[in-house]
Structure 1
Amino acid sequence: MSTDTETKPKTPWGRIASDGFWNNNVVFAQSLALCPLLAVTGTATNGLGMGLATTVVMIAAGLLVAMIRGQVTPEVRIPIFILVIAVLVTLVDLGMNAWLHDLHKVLGLFIPLIVTNCAILGRAESFASRNPVLPSAFDGLMMGVGFTFVLVVLGGLREIIGSGTLFANASLLLGDGMSFLEVTIIPEYRGFLLAILPPGGFIALGFMLAAKRLIDARIAEVKRRSAESGGEALA
């Protein structure tokens, strides 16, 4: 006899959030989407724009896949999921070209290439196709937020080291309302070209991965000590 768990597994919202943002982060844990990650993060502004576009696609893909999961047979689910993602990316691409044209020109080919982002198809297959609509949309949101976080942090580090600024040209790319983000960190800085080039992206990403490992190890150590202290208190 089938159970509700088989068709509608119950996933705690807190675990979805922690997995998407940190524990199962698209970049930190899965090492996916590295091509756009390294290509567009010359500035934090570009990283933010790419991250928001990807997040919109991930939310909508999770929502739609969860809605149609009962009508899609296992034999054709992957082509159907790819078609859904391609339609969503096309809509985002056209929307950015219409309303954020400068940012669209900067990101260029990497917006259509969101279709090939394995993280989006992977979440559609592993989560959205097995869970209800709202958890699937929330999973897409948190995965997108986690990816955007890495894009912005990596872009910010490369921009500060490479140009001495942060969120440069935010008002031109994202609209006048974002001008408050533009900051000059190091006045009259002559720049460090390597940080902006792809090799600098690899180096900065390596330091970020190492930092995550250290943070995770520290958190695990704190939990272990807390558990040991609790056990001693009970004894």
Structure 2
Amino acid sequence: MSLGTIVRNGLWEQNVVFAQLLAMCPSMAVTSSGTNGLGMGLATTAVLVVANVLVSAIRHTVSAQVRIPVFVVLIAGLVTVVDMAMNAWLHELYKVLGLFIALIVVNCAILGRAEAFAVKAGPLAAAVDGLAMGLGFTGALTAIGLVREFLGAGTLFAQASSLLGPGFAFLELQLPGYGGMLLMILPPGGFAVLGFMLAGKRLLERRGARPAAAAAPAGCC
């Protein structure tokens, strides 16, 4: 499999949220704003990349009988490091995301990529797969969070400077005179936004498939 195909699969074809429908708990719980979704997605991406590389590196030395427990312990160790790093350097974001950082350990996407891809591929391909899957997950969380935040509060990337650092202050936007709809920030709003985005993705895929089908040569009867 080429690196381009791996990237396309991670970002679109096999997107963790919009295609595989995994990690629904953080997808609904932390996407009340784009800032929260971006922070959670980047933390998960870091774990995905390093976990994939390490799993690929040890794939020939760990027996099949114990590889799942080994992978779980490895992922748990990486999540602990990320948890401590965010507590030290991104403390405000750490307080907002809270328990969901530790719950990265049970994110099916991470163990799933280790078992389905990294254990069968070299370190470079595994790293690209982890990065693509992580960025696809980050994009999905950020997109859901931005839509919910804009409709619910009339803001975009609220408190980005305080949660992610002063360098992200340029992302903060406020829609004047709009009070927002509280429902969109609550859990029902998250499911509604996710549903419309899933429908939009399916629609785009159908429209993209029509020109390809029309251009394909007709088969014999």
Residue in structure 1 matched with residue 190 of structure 2 by the alignment: 201
2:179 aligned with 1:190:
yes
Q: What amino acid does structure 1 have at the position aligned with 2:62?
A: V
Q: Distance in 2 between matches of 1:194 and 1:67?
A: 46
Match of 2:67 among 68, 77, 82: 77
Name the aligned partner's letter for residue 65 of structure 2: E
Q: State the distance in 2 between where 1:17 and 1:226 align.
A: 25
Letter in 2 for 1:88: L
What is the TM-score when the length of structure 1 is the normalising length?
0.92
Render the CA deviation track for 1:132-186: whole Å, top value 9, x for unaligned: 00000110000000000100100000000000010000000000010000011x2
Match for 1:33 among 13, 19, 23? Answer: 23
Say which of 39, 42, 48 aligns to 2:32.
Answer: 42
Residue identity in the other structure for 2:108? C
Q: 1:223: how far off?
A: 1.1
3-state SS of 1:209 partner: helix
**Is residue 147 of structure 2 the alignment partner of residue 157 of structure 1?**
yes
Is structure 2 residue 16 aligned with structure 1 residue 23?
no
In 1, the alpha carbon distance for the partners of 2:90 and 2:211 equals 45
Any runs of at least 4 consecutive aligned residues in structure 1 with deviations exceeding 2 A, and if so which? none
How many residues were matched structurally? 219
Are positions 1:215 and 2:215 aligned together?
Answer: no
3-state SS in 1 of match to 2:32: coil
CA distance in 1, matches of 2:176, 2:205: 35
Give distance in 1, aligned partners of 2:50 and 2:206.
Answer: 34
In 1, the alpha carbon distance for the partners of 2:27 and 2:17 equals 9
Structure 1 position 227, deviation (Å): 2.2
Q: CA deviation at 1:188?
A: 2.2
Structure 1 position 189, deviation (Å): 1.4
Counterpart residue type for residue 18 of structure 1: R
In 1, Cα distance between equivalents of 2:215 and 2:44: 38
1:136 lines up with 2:126 in the alignment: yes
Q: Deviations over 1:105-135 (max 9, x none)?
A: 0000000000000000000001000000000
